[in-house]
Amino acid sequence: MTRVFSGIQPTGHLTLGNYLGAMRRWAEVDQHRADSLFCVVDLHALTVEHDPARLRRLSRQTATLLLAAGLDPEACTLFLQSHVDEHTRLSYLLECVATDGEMRRMIQYKEKAARQRERGGSLRLSLLTYPVLMAADILAYGADEVPVGEDQTQHVELARDVAVRFNQRYGHTFVVPRTTLPPVAARVMNLQDPTRKMGKSDESGTGVVYLLDEPDVVRRKVLRAVTDSGREVVYDRVERPGLANLLDVLAACTGGDPESLAGGYDSYGSLKKDTAEAVVEVLRPVRERHRELCADPAYVEGVLREGAEKARALARPTVDTAYRAIGLLPPV
Ligand code: AQP
Cβ(81) – ligand 1 distance below 6 Å: no
pLDDT exceeds 90 at position 202: no
For the segment 224-245, what is each residue's pLDDT rounded down to a tens digit? Answer: 999 988 889 999 999 999 999 9
pLDDT for res 115: 87
* Superfamily of domain 205-291 in the CATH hierarchy: Tyrosyl-Transfer RNA Synthetase (1.10.240.10)
Longest CA–CA separation in the chain, Å: 74
CB distance 150 to 189 below 8 Å: no
> What percent of the chain lies above the pLDDT cut of 70?
100
Q: How confident is the model at residue 161 (pLDDT cuts 50, 70, 90)?
A: very high
Mean pLDDT of 74-91: 98
Instruction: Tell the residue nearest (CA) to atom 15 of ligand 1.
Output: 8
Residue from 6, 11, 16, 18 to probe ligand 1 pocket by mutation (most atoms less than 8 Å from CB): 18
Distance CA 97, CA 165 (A): 7
Residue from 50, 59, 200 to probe ligand 1 pocket by mutation (most atoms less than 8 Å from CB): 200
User: Where do you find CATH 1.10.240.10 in the chain?
Assistant: 205-291
Mean pLDDT of 16-36: 96
pLDDT for res 231: 82
pLDDT for res 120: 85
pLDDT for res 116: 87
pLDDT exceeds 90 at position 201: no
For residue 166, the one-letter residue type is F
Tell me the average pLDDT of the chain.
Answer: 95
Q: How confident is the model at residue 186 (pLDDT cuts 50, 70, 90)?
A: confident
Find out if CATH 3.40.50.620 is the number for domain 3-181+297-325: yes
Distance CA 298, CA 290 (A): 14
CA distances from 303 to 20, 29, 38, 76, 310 (A): 24, 20, 12, 10, 11
Alpha-carbon dihedral 186, 15, 25, 270, rounded to 10 degrees = -70
Name the residues annotated as catalytic.
112, 197, 200
Mean pLDDT of 29-54: 97
First and final C-alpha spacing in the chain: 35
**pTM reported for the whole predicted model:** 0.95
CB distance 217 to 15 below 8 Å: no
* Cα of 284 from ligand 1 centre, angstroms: 21
Q: Note the residue count of the chain.
A: 332
Distance CA 93, CA 245 (A): 40
Cβ(197) – ligand 1 distance below 6 Å: yes
User: Where do you find CATH 3.40.50.620 in the chain?
Assistant: 3-181+297-325
Strands (E), the chain: 3-8, 35-40, 76-80, 145-147, 178-180
For the segment 99-119, what is each residue's pLDDT rounded down to a tens digit? Answer: 999 999 999 999 999 988 888
pLDDT exceeds 90 at position 212: yes
CA 137-140-144 angle, to 5 degrees, is 90
Instruction: Tell the residue nearest (CA) to atom 22 of ligand 1.
Output: 199
* Cα of 109 from ligand 1 centre, angstroms: 14
